[in-house]
C-alpha cells in the first residue's frame, strides 16, 4: 500500500505539473484576451511533432529549445492572421474558431506526419531507472519532466512578480479592460501572450511526447482536461490553475490506484444486488473505471456551485 501511495504521488505530480504547463499558458491567454483557446492542446501536439522531427536530425536536446520556439511563432501567427480577424465577431466566434483550428491542426499533423504513432523517445542519457523502491522503477525521464516543469513554474513566477512585463500582465489579468489604458500596444501584447502561451504548450509537448506517445490523437486526449483545469482552478487565476492541475493529476492517479467500487460500498452497507438487474453496470462500477470522467463531474459541479472556480475572482 505504501508503495502504491508513494508512486501514485509521484505519478500524479508528473501529470499535474504537465497539466500546469498547459493550463498556465491557457490561463494567460484567457485572462488577457478573453479567449478560451480550444486549440491549446493542439499546440502541445505540434510541440511534440516538431521536436520529433528535429530529434531525427540533431537529437533530443536542441529540439527542447527549438520546438517550443517554433510553436510560439506558429501561435503568434495564428493570433495575428486568424484570431484577430475573428475577434470582432465576439467570444463565441473566437471559441468556434479555435475549435475549428483544433480540428484543422489534427488533420495537418496527419498530413505531414501520417497517422501512426511516431517513435519519439527520451534521450539515451535519461533512459535509466532513477531509483528503485519496493522493486518498482522510477524512470529518470519522469524526474527530468518534473525538473523542467518546476523550472518553468519558477521562471513564470519570477517573470510575473519581478519584471515590468510581468506587472503589466498581472494588471491585465485582474483588470482585463484596463490593459488598453496602460498605453501599451495592445495587439502586440496579445500576439506576444498568445505566442508565449503556445510556446509553453509546445514545451509541454516536447517533454511529454516521449513519455505519453506522439500520435495524432494526443491533443484530443488532453484537450478538454486542460479546459477542466482552468475552469476548476478559476479562470484567470494562475495559482488556481496550479492547484487544480495538481488536484486533477492526483485525482486521476489515485482513482486508478484505489480499487473501490459501488459493490464494496453496498457490501459495507449490507446490501446485495441482483447480478442480472438492468442496473448491474452501476452496481459494479469501480473507481478506476470512472477515473477519466471524474474531472468532468468536478467541472460540472464547479460550474454549478462555484462558477468562479476554486481560486478565481471572475465569473466565467
Partner 1 sequence: MAVTRRTAFAATIGLALAWSAGAEAADPIKIAFIDPLSGPFATTGESGLRSFEFAAETLVNAKGGVLDGRMFEIVPLDNKISPKESLIQLKRAISDGINYVVQGNSSGVANALTDAIEKHNKRNPDQRVLFLNYSAVDPALTNDKCNFWHFRFDANADIKMDALTDAIGERSEIKKVYIIGQDYSFGKAVAAAAVRMLAEKRPDIEIVGNELHPIGKVKDFTPYATKIKASGAQAVITGNWGADMVGLGKAIIEAGVDSPIYTYYGAHDGITATFGPLGEGIIRSVREGTLNPPTPEFKALDDAFKAKYPDNDINQPRIFNTIAMLAKAIEAAGTTDPVKVAYALEGMEYDTIMGGKVWMRPSDHQAIQDVHISVHTNKNIVVDADNSGYGLANEKTVPMAGKDSPTSCQMERPNAA
Partner 2 sequence: MSVNQSTTTGATADGVEPAWKRVADEQMRRGAFSRTLPVWGAAVVILMIMPLVFPSAVAVTIMNQMGISIVFALSYNMLLGQGGMLSFGHAVYFGLGGFLSVHVMNSVEYDGWWLPLPLLPLVGGLFGLAFAIPIGGFSTRRAGTVFAMISLGVGELVAACSIIFVAFFGGEEGVSGDRTMGPPVFGFEFLSEVEVYYLTAGVVLVAALFMYLFSRTPAGRMANAVRDNEERAEFVGYSQRYVRFVSFCASGFFAGMAGGLFAINYEILTEENLNLVTSGWVLLMAFIGGVGFFVGPIVGAIVLTLLQTVLSNHTELWQLYVGILFVLTVMYAPRGLTGLVAMHGPALRSGRLGPLVAAYGVALVPLVAFLAGAILLLEMGNVANQSVVGESEAHVFGLSLDVSTAPPWLVAAVLAVGGAYALARLAPRLRDAFGRATGAAGGAP
Write the CA distances from 201 to 158, 206, 209, integer angstroms: 19, 9, 12
**Is the four-CA dihedral 43, 48, 51, 52 of positive or negative sign?**
negative
Cβ contacts of 247 within 8 Å, gap of 6 or more: 16, 232
Q: Are 65 and 89 in contact (CB under 8 A)?
A: no
Cα dist from 132 to 5, 139, 143, whole Å: 15, 9, 13
Which of the listed partners (partner 2, partner 1, none) does 123 bind, with a CB threshold of 5 to 8 Å by partner kind?
A: none
291, 255 contact by CB (below 8 A): yes
Spatial contact of 302 and 296, defined as CB atoms under 8 Å apart: no
Smallest separation, CB 275 to partner 1 (Å): 13
* Options 59, 90, 129, 155; binder of partner 1; rule CB under 8 A: 129
Pair 189, 179: CB distance under 8 Å: yes
Q: Residues 58-97 vs partner 1: string with x where CB under 8 A?
A: ----------------------------------------
Q: At what angle do helices 91-113 and 218-233 cross, to 10 degrees?
A: 150
Using CB under 8 A, pick the residue from 13, 15, 28, 70 that binds partner 1: 15
265 binds partner 2 (CB under 8 A): no
Q: Does 116 bind partner 1 (CB under 8 A)?
A: yes
Helix (H) or strand (E) holding 1: none
C-beta closer to partner 2: residue 271 or 293: 293
Residue 232: which of 174, 170, 176, 303 has the closest Cα? 303
| Residue located via cell numbers 478573453 | 34
User: Segment near partner 2 (CB under 8 A), from 40-48, 88-96, 154-162, 163-171?
Assistant: 88-96
Segment 134 to 173, residues that bind partner 1, using CB under 8 A? 134-137, 139, 142
Residue 315 interacts with partner 2 (CB under 8 A): yes or no: yes
69 binds, among partner 1, partner 2, none (CB under 5 to 8 A by kind): none
- 89-108 positions binding partner 2, by CB under 8 A: 89, 91-93, 95-97, 99-101, 103-104, 106-108
Locate 22 and state its grid cell. Answer: 498547459
What's 127-169 look like in SS3? Answer: CCEEEEECCEEEEHHHHHHHHHHHHHHHHHHHHHHHCHHHHHH
Q: Which stretch binds partner 2 (CB under 8 A): 1-9, 21-29, 109-117, 152-160?
A: 109-117
123 versus 213: smaller Cβ distance to partner 1: 213
Among 49, 52, 141, 227, binds partner 2 (CB under 8 A): 227
Contacted by 211, from partner 2, partner 1, none: CB < 5 to 8 Å by type: partner 1
List residues near partner 2 by CB under 8 A: 36, 82, 85-86, 89, 91-93, 95-97, 99-101, 103-104, 106-108, 110-112, 114, 224, 227-228, 231, 278-282, 285, 289-290, 292-293, 296-297, 299-300, 303-304, 307, 315-316
List residues near partner 1 by CB under 8 A: 3-4, 7-8, 11, 14-15, 114-117, 119, 129, 132, 134-137, 139, 142, 211-213, 215-218, 221-222, 225, 252-253, 256-257, 288-289, 291-293
Amino acid at each position: 500500500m505504501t508503495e502504491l501511495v508513494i508512486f501514485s504521488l509521484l505519478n500524479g505530480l508528473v501529470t499535474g505539473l504537465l497539466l500546469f504547463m498547459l493550463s498556465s499558458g491557457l490561463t494567460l491567454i484567457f485572462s488577457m484576451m478573453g479567449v478560451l483557446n480550444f486549440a491549446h492542446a493542439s499546440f502541445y501536439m505540434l510541440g511534440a511533432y516538431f521536436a520529433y522531427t528535429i530529434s531525427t536530425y540533431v537529437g533530443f536536446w536542441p529540439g527542447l529549445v527549438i520546438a517550443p520556439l517554433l510553436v510560439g511563432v506558429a501561435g503568434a501567427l495564428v493570433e495575428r492572421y486568424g484570431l484577430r480577424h475573428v475577434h470582432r465577431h465576439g467570444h463565441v466566434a473566437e471559441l468556434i474558431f479555435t475549435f475549428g483550428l483544433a480540428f484543422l491542426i489534427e488533420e495537418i499533423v496527419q498530413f505531414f506526419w501520417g497517422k501512426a504513432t511516431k517513435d519519439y523517445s527520451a534521450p539515451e542519457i535519461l533512459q535509466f531507472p532513477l531509483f528503485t523502491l519496493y522493486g518498482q522503477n522510477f524512470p529518470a525521464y519522469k524526474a527530468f519532466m518534473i525538473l523542467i516543469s518546476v523550472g518553468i513554474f519558477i521562471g513564470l513566477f519570477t517573470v510575473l512578480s519581478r519584471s515590468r512585463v510581468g506587472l503589466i500582465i498581472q494588471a491585465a489579468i485582474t483588470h482585463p479592460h484596463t490593459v488598453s489604458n496602460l498605453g501599451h500596444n495592445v495587439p502586440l501584447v496579445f500576439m506576444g501572450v498568445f505566442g508565449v502561451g503556445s510556446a509553453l504548450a509546445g514545451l509541454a509537448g516536447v517533454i511529454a511526447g516521449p513519455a505519453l506517445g506522439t500520435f495524432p490523437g494526443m491533443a484530443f486526449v488532453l484537450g478538454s482536461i486542460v479546459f477542466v483545469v482552468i475552469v476548476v482552478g478559476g479562470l484567470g487565476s494562475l495559482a488556481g490553475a496550479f492547484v487544480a492541475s495538481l488536484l486533477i493529476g492526483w485525482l486521476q492517479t489515485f482513482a486508478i490506484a484505489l480499487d473501490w467500487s459501488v459493490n464494496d460500498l453496498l457490501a459495507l452497507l449490507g446490501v446485495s444486488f441482483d447480478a442480472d438487474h438492468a442496473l448491474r453496470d452501476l452496481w459494479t462500477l469501480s473507481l478506476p473505471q470512472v477515473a477519466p470522467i471524474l474531472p468532468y463531474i468536478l467541472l460540472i459541479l464547479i460550474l454549478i456551485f462555484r462558477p468562479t472556480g476554486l481560486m478565481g475572482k471572475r465569473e466565467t
